Structures are given as C-alpha cells and as structure tokens.
Amino acid sequence: MRNWLGNDGNWIVAGLAAAITVPLLSFVAGMPFWIAAIIAVLVFAGLVILLAPRRLFEGLDIKSIGSGRVAFARDLLEAAVPFAQRLEAAADAITDRKTTTAVRHLAEIAVDVFRKVEAKPESANAVRRFLSYYLPRAAEVAEGFAVIEAKRAPDTKQLEEVRTVLVKLEEAFVHYADSLIDEALGTLDTDLRLIQASLKEDIGR
C-alpha cells in the first residue's frame, strides 16, 4: 500500500543494509574491503529501487480511462498530499489529546480519499473542492491550533473556536469521502428496480 504521508523508508532500509554488508563481507566472509564496499553500493542501489514507492496510477489502463482524466487526478493529488502531511505533522505538535486524535483522523480521511481517487481517477472531479480547498484549510487550522496552544498563556476561547471549526471540517471530510462511495453506488437503485421488474415478469414475484 502506498505510504502517502512519507516515502523515505526505502533510503533508510537500504542504508542500513549497505552498512551491515561491508563488515559482514570483510570480517566474516574474509573478502577484501574494496570488494565488500562495491557490493554494499550495489546492495544500496538495488534496495532503493526495489523498495521505491510505486508511481501514481501505476497498473491502471490509462488508455481506457483517458489520459486527460488521469492527468487531472494526478495534478489534484500531487498538490493535495503535502497538506495531508502537514495535518499529520500538526497532530504530532498538538498536545491536547482529543484535538490530536481529531486532526489525525482528518489526515486518515484524506489518505482514504487519495486511495479512492487513485483507484478511480475519473472520480477526481467529485472531490476537487475537498482536495483543493477543504484539505488545505484544514492543515492551516490545525497548525493554527498548535501555534495558539504553544503560547505560555493560550487563549482558551480561541482554542475552543478552532476545535469547533475542526469538527465542522471533519463533517465536510466525511461527506466528500462518502460521496465517492455514493457515486460508485449511483446505479444500484436503478439496477434493483430492473431486477425486481424482471423477477416479477419471469416468476410473478
């Protein structure tokens, strides 16, 4: 599964593996140091490539979907992901546990929307306002809470106002996330009526 909120793990793992390879080959296997170093470099490069996160929409039949739709969805996601990362960072900075949980939940909903859009790029237009407006504003509000909270004498009224806005934003986030599911179920009612009509015609029930 794509890690939307950070992709540096492959470099860390590759670096650790390469660091272990040199002493392992030099001292345990008895290889010359320069050969061990070359092998370590190859191990590092190989793991970076192997563990690299896959590209957006990799594996989708872009021709059947339309390159324009995919490009539109890609632009929206690439612009939106940094704001989800800022939400996660704000959640880490906030000390109020309830607010931290709320902000982290916003980031989780955003990631859920990202995954749904990547799976179905043609749905991107349905959540365009979410990705380009509500998500950036949510990141700014969460960061604002962290800044207010960090004061020596935080304004409790101001903090409560920000909490109220975060609750409203959560409602908007849930609405847009569910709208993608509602869109996928758009033909269900019609299908059910057609099936019921066919059953009634065929078996009288």
Residue type at position 76: L
3-state secondary structure of 48: helix
How far apart (Å, rounded) are the C-alpha atoms in residues 132 and 141? 15
Confidence band, pLDDT 50/70/90 cuts, at residue 1: very low
| pTM exceeds 0.75 | no
Write the pLDDT tens digit of every residue in 108-122.
999 999 999 998 998
The residue written with tokens 């996160």 in the block is 53
Better pLDDT: 59 or 135? 135
